[in-house]
Structure 1
């Protein structure tokens, strides 16, 4: 195992953290663009600050060593953080496997948070950070707002949402405009607000069933499990192997995972896999046979049956609507 690189960062002083990281790894940070290129790590990104209290960034990481980023709670204003794991590729034994490290993670700056990024992988993600004061300026007064009450709660909390197509489309717009100097500021800002608006709707509908006071080590372990073992849809995870890897019984592993992601491990994996079928039909030109093979379904009929059970219609119907431009 390669030696881990550990870095302590701040949710409040975001750009200062990037500056320190660039200095530690002999890279560069010019206030908006991060560039790090070492013998074991390539880390590139852009981050912009809006109205002094909102930060929107997109980053690409490819590391041969495990990287751990630790966020400790800071005094002062409470910030809300939205971290959207997007996509990437695994590299091993001369083989490249695409994976979608999908998910929307929402938490406040009181939550002690530690991320171990996938290594031996190219990983892309988007972050949106804003103070509660900033959020209040952009929302109407509403005493019955569940989301406002949640955001004003200073105790540590965490919530996970699947990355649906609506949010992903806004993420893709941000990514598509990262090199467009004349318009990227407005796209980063406006699409970030669109994403916040969608998340607000979802949390209001769900009743803000957030997780509070999660033990940081449990959160770190389950994030690592999801990122490293549940992103390769060509191979179903083995619970016995995961039990050995994380040093706990299968029942305890499932219990802790469900306490964060609302589902046991295999149920979560299967849902992510069938949502990946939808995503590949929408965003690629693959045939249904190619999608079925890539995601390791036994055949097209098996994929179709599982897809229809989840979405209520066959994947062929979705592909036909896409091909006719009727999505």
Structure 2
């Protein structure tokens, strides 16, 4: 049983390292590692259950757009080296799936979702992203020079200045909307090929970009909460603390004191980065760990429940079903 735990802990994703910047850097990193078909503006890979389809389009000078539709049989960890260009921004709109952002060399897998919606950042700090295995992932991205964006959306200039008043590393998580999701739906459908597909994709991409800028402009200071690299690094340490303490009972006040942060800022920053409260994150982390152990068939429900700090097995089973939608005993049977 101990060996099984160690095996589960030591499972590592495929590592890809690249310099932040244009989409071709991403496509080339995938091609160099996995092979496939690489063209000047696209990448395609079909191998077993792995399917990756990426397309890049130059919307206008200084603004690049890309589409990614993928499912990979192995977990991927993408390490992005900073481009150190404070006026070059990266905007990701996630349509399907999830991935984990990490701002330290150590990979700390985020349990049960996170970073869904819209993520905008400048390439002034190292950034890691882990994509889980066998999980569909669909997204669109914009990479743009600040001056070029302001040429086509001059109304965005004041908002970007407010969001990025200095050249230091800063990132924002922003909730998406049904309107943006519908535009991404159209783009993904057009990518499969219709008459005038490229023109239709560009039209929808421009519309999605304008609407996203407008969403950010309309958000209040509390809603549009950016996190500096120091905030991220602290949150990564807090996340590690939580994941290393799955058998304990957490105390937010004690965590805030240990990591030298106010409770209100801790709660706000954690929600901004992980899109959930600390308590919800911790509970989901416990249930994900419970599921992994039960799925091996090497643990009983009682062993898992007690080991994860539950003194009442009915309470453990109730929480497990609430989070996972299945009884823990059913996982053992499977």
**Shorter-normalised TM range:** 0.5 to 0.7
2:26 corresponds to which residue?
A: 17
Query: Structure 2 residue aligned with 1:79, among 75, 88, 100?
Result: 88
1:168 corresponds to which residue?
A: 181
- Paired with 2:142 and 2:272, the residues of 1 have a C-alpha distance of 24
Q: Say which SS state the counterpart of residue 163 (structure 1) adopts.
A: coil
The TM-score, its normalising length taken from structure 2, stands at: 0.61
Contact 1:114–1:216 (Cα < 8 Å) also in 2? no
Cα displacement string for residues 190-226 of structure 1 (whole angstroms, at most 9, x for unaligned residues): 322222222222222223432222455567799x99x
Matched, 1:133 2:147: yes
Alignment of 1:196-211 (within 5 A): 196-205=209-218, 206-207=220-221, 208-211=224-227
Q: Which has the larger radius of gyration?
A: 2
- Paired with 2:180 and 2:138, the residues of 1 have a C-alpha distance of 15
Distance 1:185 1:77, change over 3 A: farther
Contact 1:113–1:216 (Cα < 8 Å) also in 2? no
- Paired with 1:10 and 1:246, the residues of 2 have a C-alpha distance of 39
- Paired with 1:39 and 1:141, the residues of 2 have a C-alpha distance of 47
- Paired with 1:77 and 1:100, the residues of 2 have a C-alpha distance of 26
Distance 1:158 1:29, change over 3 A: same
111-120 vs 145-154, greater mean Cα deviation: 145-154
- Paired with 2:199 and 2:249, the residues of 1 have a C-alpha distance of 47
2:206 corresponds to which residue?
A: 193
The TM-score, its normalising length taken from structure 1, stands at: 0.62
Distance 1:199 1:51, change over 3 A: closer
Q: Say which SS state the counterpart of residue 191 (structure 2) adopts.
A: coil
1:42 corresponds to which residue?
A: 51
For structure 1, the residue ranges without an aligned partner over 5 or more in a row are 90-98, 226-239, 270-292, 297-327
Query: Structure 1 residue aligned with 2:137, among 80, 100, 123?
Result: 123
Alignment of 1:145-164 (within 5 A): 145-151=158-164, 153-164=166-177
1:310 corresponds to which residue?
A: none
Query: Number of aligned pairs?
Result: 250
Cα displacement string for residues 33-63 of structure 1 (whole angstroms, at most 9, x for unaligned residues): 2112345743222222233422222212222
Distance 1:148 1:101, change over 3 A: closer
Contact 1:115–1:220 (Cα < 8 Å) also in 2? no
For structure 2, the residue ranges without an aligned partner over 5 or more in a row are 1-7, 99-112, 257-265, 283-321, 326-334
Cα displacement string for residues 137-188 of structure 1 (whole angstroms, at most 9, x for unaligned residues): 1133788x23344356421111112222011111111111113365232333
250-259 vs 8-17, greater mean Cα deviation: 250-259
Cα displacement string for residues 223-258 of structure 1 (whole angstroms, at most 9, x for unaligned residues): x99xxxxxxxxxxxxxx8x56469995634974623
Distance 1:165 1:259, change over 3 A: closer
Contact 1:116–1:220 (Cα < 8 Å) also in 2? no
1:278 corresponds to which residue?
A: none
- Paired with 1:187 and 1:268, the residues of 2 have a C-alpha distance of 39
